[in-house]
Amino acid sequence: MLSYPLLDVRVSTPVLELRGATDELLDQLAPVVHAGKMNAEPSPYDDPISFHETDPDIRVVKWLRSIWRGRGNVDADRWRLYFVVVVDGEPVGMQDVVGASFSTFGTVTSFSWLSVDHRGRGLGKEMRQAILQLAFEGLGAKEATSDAFVDNQASNAISRGLGYAPDGFDRATRRGEPALLNRWRLSRETWEQHRRTDIELHNVDACRAYLPLS
């Protein structure tokens, strides 16, 4: 068992595992970030984000620092759990869940990316379903939200396909340029209609003990 129990939380599906993003796993994933394989065109990421850094060495350093900062900021207003997506023993991306005033609203949002080498074969949808299982079953969430630029076809298709309802638009910049985001919202009731029975949660008690959930 790790001395920081939140890093022991895992979600497993028949094809992938979300593992708490330990430094060891982040080290294994760093070459993907170094090679720029987390990117897509047009950029799916709003500003500011370490992924927009063009120098690969500095990009990895900024990426790690952003995760370390996020891990350390755990309060009622905002917390974030970072998971590395592991397929057949190989780290291929990340899937995070964020609670914003969770104890008041019960709302989570999610953020994810996959190495370009592993996209387009259902893993993105699978990892979103895994994190929703953690949020609704493990953490007792009431709803989940997601944002994606209107031209991010994969992310929008995942939200639509999992029953999220359109919830208007937002604006953000990416690489300094303004762009439109779709907002999506999934209620607990709708998730229950789509919920999977083959996704397992491990060591979730750590979330109840160490996150401000109520």
Binding to ligand COA, residues 112-131 (CB under 6 A): 112-114, 119-125
Q: How far is the CB of 66 from ligand COA (least distance, A)?
A: 15
Sequence-ordered alpha helix ranges (H) in 73-141? 102-105, 123-133
Q: How far is the CB of 111 from ligand COA (least distance, A)?
A: 6
72 or 178, CB closer to ligand COA? 178
Which residue's CB atom is positioned nearest to ligand COA? 124
153 near ligand COA (CB under 6 A): yes
Q: Supply the DSSP symbol for 50.
A: G
CB of 153 to ligand COA, least distance (A): 3
Query: Binding of ligand COA at residue 148 (CB under 6 A)?
Result: yes
Tell me if 154 contacts ligand COA by CB under 6 A: yes
Spell 187-207 as b/e; 16+ CB within 10 A means b.
eeebbeeeeeeebebbbbebb
Would you count residue 63 as binding ligand COA (CB under 6 A)? Answer: no
Q: Which residue type, as a one-letter code, is found at position 100?
A: A
Which residues sit opposite 185 in a β-bridge? 145, 165
Residue 44 Cβ, how far from ligand COA at the closest point, in Å? 3
User: Exposed, middle or buried: residue 89 (CB in 10 Å: 0-12, 13-18, 19+)?
Assistant: exposed
Residue selected from 58, 157, 165, 180 as contacting ligand COA according to rule CB under 6 A: 157
* Position 155 contacts ligand COA (CB under 6 A): yes
Site string for ligand COA, 26-45 (x = CB under 6 A): --------------x---x-
Say if residue 41 is exposed, middle or buried (CB neighbours under 10 Å; 0-12, 13-18, 19+).
Answer: exposed
Residue 51, φ and ψ in degrees, nearest 5: -65, -20
Beta carbon of residue 208, minimum distance to ligand COA (angstroms, whole number) = 28
Instruction: Tell me the CB-side half-sphere exposure of residue 87, using CA atoms within 13 A.
Output: 16
In the stretch 84-113, what mask flags binding to ligand COA with x, by CB under 6 A? ----------------------------xx
Q: What residues make contact with ligand COA under the rule CB under 6 A?
A: 40, 44, 112-114, 119-125, 148, 152-155, 157-158, 161
